[in-house]
Structure 1
Amino acid sequence: MRIGILGFGKIAREALYPAILNVGHSVTAIGSAAGVKPDGFQGEVFSDYSDVITSGLIDAVYIALPNHLHYPMSRCAIEAGIPVLCEKPLGLSAAEVSSLSVVAETQRSFLMEALMVAHHPQWQWIRQHISTDEPLHLSVQFHYDNRDPLNIRNRPETGGGARLDIGCYALWVAHWLGARTLTGATGCQWIEQGVDARTSGRLLFDEHLELQFDVSMRRARFQQVIIHSQKHCWVIPRPFNPSANTTIWAMGSEGIEREHQFEAMQYERMIEAFSTSIDRQSKTDLTASQRIAQWSDTIKHQFEERIVK
């Protein structure tokens, strides 16, 4: 399959570009406003993203642009009949995600959100071994330190902020483990230069699931998920961007009972899932993306705001 890439930043350059090649596909066109391309690249480079879509050089497109461009460029590709793999979040709001779902269905084009964590075997194992029939308490932390005012994550006009960049992972964990109906939301957003530099809160779901989360762009790099049931606890020390080898600790009343190790590359698995869906002419299903976007909207509108000066 010939794949075009829109935006050639760190994720596209270091993760997706090699993953595409590793599973046997080719990158034939890159859209880069700055003209960035990998060494030895033999395809075409376009400064206008739309030109990649209309070039006739691609069978599908991976979109890794700033958040505010995800919706318009995904829509542009879908309407041109090009299957789309778009980085999270698909849109800046639930309304944008719902609109993409309608357009994809109308155009009979395939659209998939690039939440690579769903394709790592540690999360497949978690879903198989944790019963969602009993109450679950989830604790999710995801932090990094980025204070560059020019970085897209720190600019409101490009859809920056911790909620959209990494908060979606906390919400995804809840959805992965069975959350569907949000019944309560309390928390705080620390606003710096127009974006939430940190968001922390508690969400309650009708499915006997509670999520406590803290995501920040102003703390030392750290990530962790802890899942508690009545009798067990699972600790995932590298839940969202694990290395090739990662570990889950399963604990009971006597301490660590089992240690599970996994080897896999989630980006390659995601590309394979995307390719398989296209080959099978699968229909677009954005149910999870729409729910997560709705919960994210609730956080934006209901959490307290504190202005950081």
Structure 2
Amino acid sequence: MSKIRWGVLGVAKIATVKVIPAMQQSDLCEITGLASRTAEKSRAAAEELGIANSYGSYEDLLADPDIDAVYNPLPNHLHVPWSIKALEAGKHVLCEKPIGLTSTEGQQLVDAGKAHPQLKLMEAFMYRHHPQWVTAKKLVKEGGIGELRTIQSFFSYFLSDPDNYRNHADWGGGGLMDIGCYPISLSRFIFDAEPTSVSGAVEYDPNFNIDRLASATMDFGVGTSTFTCGTQLTPYQRVNIFGTTGRVEIEIPFNAPPDCPCKIWHETAAGIEEISFDICDQYRIQGDLFSEAILNNTPVPTPIEDAVANMRVIEAIVRAGKAGVWEQV
């Protein structure tokens, strides 16, 4: 087998606009099937994207023996149950973030993965695979900013549509779950550790009952990481990583464009160096790496347990915001 045959659950925008087109450019991925809750909807999307097979239900896709791996971009409350169903059907699973509604639910998926050790399972935090993040982590690890002391992140957009799942509390909506998970993940990635405690301030939308503005501080013992995320703010994103002798700034840390070069800045006492990266698609890289793990039977880049650890931090920030005190993770 030279290519992994992929099936996609649902026609979420991130799948149809970002992930599927990117993976279709891969030499290791073949998107062979797309499922939706109705045959008409899946057929229309499959035809538009040039996908050979469409299914009128998720169950039909999972039953197809010609599907090797499943990408799950369903709303947050469907991540764990349908990922478990995919594993039980003998499919490898790449599941969108956040892994579930709670860390307990995420652990259910981890346990399901352990029950099927021959299958690969990973959360789709695509940003980690982009060369700009690989370089940022390397600069920090090799002392390029001295001793790592603190990270500052910001991520926001404006969304007031009541029908969007991100504004449904019972579907796992809200800023922390949708975009706050990124600053948490990158902080754990760069510090290569888990925060011991967190503080937070969280504001809730009175109509949607989802968090629309959240700010948090994570204590890693040897340093801190702070971030703000918002779903009713002007769109913006930026990350700064500070050390004792330098810093790294990432211009477009999360939604790195697939059609133009990205850049970061590395500042030291000698000055500021701008580092540019060739055009690449982080979703294609993610698909390639996951497919390589299947083809070579090697570990996935990010163990699924990492997803549960990220959820624990989100939960601690929510508790801290409600109690107004520091919370242990």
Shorter-chain TM-score above 0.5: yes
Distance 2:317 2:166 in 1: 18
Match of 1:31 in 2: 35
Match of 1:55 in 2: 64
1:236 aligned onto 2:246: no
Partner amino acid, structure 1, of 2:220: F
- More off after superposition, 129-138 vs 272-281: 129-138
Q: How far off is 1:179 after superposition?
A: 4.5
Match of 1:66 in 2: 75
Distance 1:61 1:67 in 2: 16
1:201 aligned onto 2:204: no
Match of 2:198 in 1: 185
CA gap of 1:144–1:305, structure 2 versus 1, over 3 A, is farther
Match of 2:15 in 1: 12
1:21 aligned onto 2:37: no
Aligned match for 1:3, one of 6, 9, 14: 6
Aligned length: 304
Partner amino acid, structure 2, of 1:177: I
Distance 2:198 2:256 in 1: 29
Partner amino acid, structure 2, of 1:266: Q
Q: How far off is 1:259 after superposition?
A: 0.4
Q: How far off is 1:183 after superposition?
A: 2.4
Distance 2:309 2:223 in 1: 15
The RMSD of aligned alpha carbons is: 1.9
Which runs of 5 or more residues in structure 1 are unaligned?
A: none
Q: How far off is 1:242 after superposition?
A: 1.2
1:304 aligned onto 2:322: yes
Match of 1:110 in 2: 120
Percent identity, please.
Answer: 29
1:259 aligned onto 2:274: yes
After TM superposition, the score normalised by the length of structure 1 is 0.93
Q: How far off is 1:9 after superposition?
A: 1.9
Q: What SS is found at the alignment partner of 1:107?
A: coil
Which runs of 5 or more residues in structure 2 are unaligned?
A: 325-329
Partner amino acid, structure 2, of 1:130: V
Distance 2:304 2:101 in 1: 15
Partners of 1:105 and 1:283 within 8 A in 2 = no
Q: Which runs of 4+ in 1 moved over 6 A?
A: none
Q: What SS is found at the alignment partner of 1:182?
A: coil
After superposition, the C-alpha distances for 1:245-290 in whole angstroms (9 at most, x for unaligned) are: 1110112346x52000012211111011010111122356223222
After TM superposition, the score normalised by the length of structure 2 is 0.87
Partner amino acid, structure 1, of 2:309: R
Distance 1:86 1:113 in 2: 5
Partners of 2:200 and 2:318 within 8 A in 1 = no
- More off after superposition, 297-306 vs 121-130: 297-306
Match of 1:277 in 2: 293
Q: How far off is 1:296 after superposition?
A: 1.1
Flag the structure with higher strand content: 1
Distance 1:42 1:166 in 2: 30
Distance 2:90 2:64 in 1: 13
Q: What SS is found at the alignment partner of 1:297?
A: helix
Distance 1:222 1:33 in 2: 34
Q: How far off is 1:32 after superposition?
A: 1.6
Match of 1:87 in 2: 96
